[in-house]
Amino acid sequence: MTPKEVLEFAAAHNAVMFDLKFMDLPGLWQHNTYPMSELAEDVFTEGRGFDGSSIRGWQAINASDMLLIPDPSTAVMDPFAKYPTLSMICNVVDPLTRESYSRDPRFVAQKGIKYLKSTGIADVAYFGPEAEFFVFDDVRYNTFQGGSFYEVDSVEAQWNTGRDEGPNLGYKPRYKEGYFPCPPTDSLWDIRAEMVIEMQNCGIPIEAQHHEVATAGQCEIDMRFDEMIRMADKLYMFKYIVKNVAKRNNKTATFMPKPIWNDNGSGMHVHQSLWKDGKPLFAGDLYGGMSQLALHYIGGILKHSRALAAICAPTTNSYKRLVPGFEAPVNLAYSSRNRSASIRIPTYSPSPKAKRIEVRYPDPSCNAYLAFTAMLLAGLDGIQNKIDPGSPLDKDIYGLSAEELAEVPSLPASLEEALDELEADHDFLLKGDVFTQDLVDKWIDYKRSHEVNALRLRPHPYEFSLYYDI
C-alpha cells in the first residue's frame, strides 16, 4: 500500500488508533500508539519520535532522540486491540542525519538484500522458518538474593497423570511422543486453529498446524515461505498472534527454546533458497538434487556455523536444547532427509522450485532479521569462495561411534563459547557494510554482560541438590 492507500484502508476499517511497531536488538517487538488524528501522509516521511536510550542495546542517553518511519506495505488491523487500531512496522532513523540506524535489525536485513543483489549472484532470498512453541496453563518464576525457582504446568503434561484434577481425564502426551496425536490427547487443536485464522486475517499464508514432539503443549504452525524481509516481518506478527491468542484463552505461550527438562525443546528450522530472474538457483543434478551453487552455499553455512550460533541460537537457554539425543542437531554436517544433520535437504517434492536447504540449529529466541541476514551472508561467502561442504553424512549421527563422531565438527556447547567464535569469525558479516563492527561488538558485549555473566553469578536450584550437604 501507498501512504494514501493506508489512510483509506484505516478509514474503511474505522480505525481510531494507529500503532507503530519496531524491533529492539535482542529481538522483541516494541510499540507506540497514537490517535488516528495524528496520522497524515507526512508521517511516512517525517516519522514520529521516541527515546532510543530506553531500548535495549541502543542509544546512549545523550543521543537518545530517534525517529520511527512506518512502512506502509506492512499495514494491517491489529487483531487484539479493543478499539480498531491500524498497525505498521517501522524503520528507525536518526533525526539529525536522516540516515537509517545501524543497530536497527530491520535495516540490517534491508542492507543484506541490497548486498545480495549487488553481488549479481541472485536477486531474491526466500526464507521459511518453522517456529515451535509451548502453550502452558501456568508459569511461575522468580530470582532474588535468597532463592530462585521456576515452574511451568499444563493440563497436557505427562507429569500430571496422577494429579487430582476433579476428575483427571488422562490423554496426556507421553514424553517425546507428542508428535501428531489426535484429540483428545491433542488438547490445543482449536486454539492453534484460532491462531491460524488470525494469522490469515493479517495476511500470513499458513500451510499446516500440529502438535509437536514434547509433552505439555508443544506446538508448531507452518507459514508459507516468502522473501527474507517480509518473512521476518511475518514471523513477528506470528509470535504476537500466538502469544495473544493463548492469553485470550487463559493460557500462556513461550518461544523459549528449552522450558522443560528432559524432553524436546523448541527449534526454528529455517528453510532458504536463492532465485534470480524468477528462476531457482538451488536445483541441480548433484547430491540431493542440488546445484553446485547450493552446495557452496551449504559450505559457507557450515564454515561459519560456530559463529552463526551466537546469533541464531542466542540465549543461554538455547544450549540446553542443543544437546545430543533430542533431535536438535549439534553436529555440523549436511544430508538429504536426515534430521540429525545440522543442514537438511528436504526431499518432499522433485520440483526445482521446491529445492532448498533447511538449517536446523536456530531457535525462535533469535532476532530473525539478524539471524536470517547472517545465514544469508555466510551462504554468499560460501558461493563467492567456492567453499566445499565436504561429503554428506547420511547415517544417523546419534548412532555413530566415538571414532566416527570425532571426525564431525560440532556447534558450541554454550552461548559463551558461541560469542567467542563470533568474536573471532565475523568478517563475512561486514561485507557490504551489512553488519557494522559497532553492531557486532554491541551484540557480543550485550550478550556477555546481560545474559552470560548475569547467569554465571547466580546459584542454580539444581546445585542445591548436588552440593548442599557437602
Q: Which of 364, 460, 463, 374 is nearest to 425 (CA)?
A: 374
Q: Which of 106, 269, 271, 304 is catalytic?
A: 269
Q: Which of 212, 222, 226, 263 is catalytic?
A: 212
Q: Which of 358, 363, 421, 451 is catalytic?
A: 358
Active site residue 339: yes
Q: Which of 8, 46, 51, 438 is catalytic?
A: 51
Active site residue 130: yes
Active site residue 381: no
Q: Which three cell numbers stand for residue 27?
A: 529481538
Q: Which of 103, 304, 344, 360 is catalytic?
A: 360
The identity of residue 324, as a single letter, is P
Active site residue 132: yes
Active site residue 51: yes
**Distance of alpha carbon 101 from alpha carbon 65, whole angstroms:** 12
**Distance of alpha carbon 456 from alpha carbon 37, whole angstroms:** 49
Q: Which three cell numbers stand for residue 260?
A: 522443560
- Cβ contacts of 41 within 8 Å, gap of 6 or more: 3, 4, 7
Q: Which of 19, 78, 104, 132 is catalytic?
A: 132
Q: Which of 19, 78, 104, 130 is catalytic?
A: 130
Q: What are phi and psi of 31, to 5 degrees?
A: -155, 160
3-state secondary structure of 57: coil
Q: What is the DSSP letter of 76?
A: E
Active site residue 463: no
Contact call for residues 409 and 330 (beta carbons, < 8 A)? no
Q: Which of 230, 339, 394, 423 is catalytic?
A: 339
Contact call for residues 13 and 84 (beta carbons, < 8 A)? yes
Question: What is the helix (H) or strand (E) element at residue 468, kind and residue range?
Answer: none
Secondary structure (DSSP) of 338-368: -TTSSEEE--S---GGG--EEE-S--TTS-H
**Distance of alpha carbon 260 from alpha carbon 238, whole angstroms:** 22
Residues acting as catalytic residues: 51, 130, 132, 212, 220, 269, 339, 358, 360
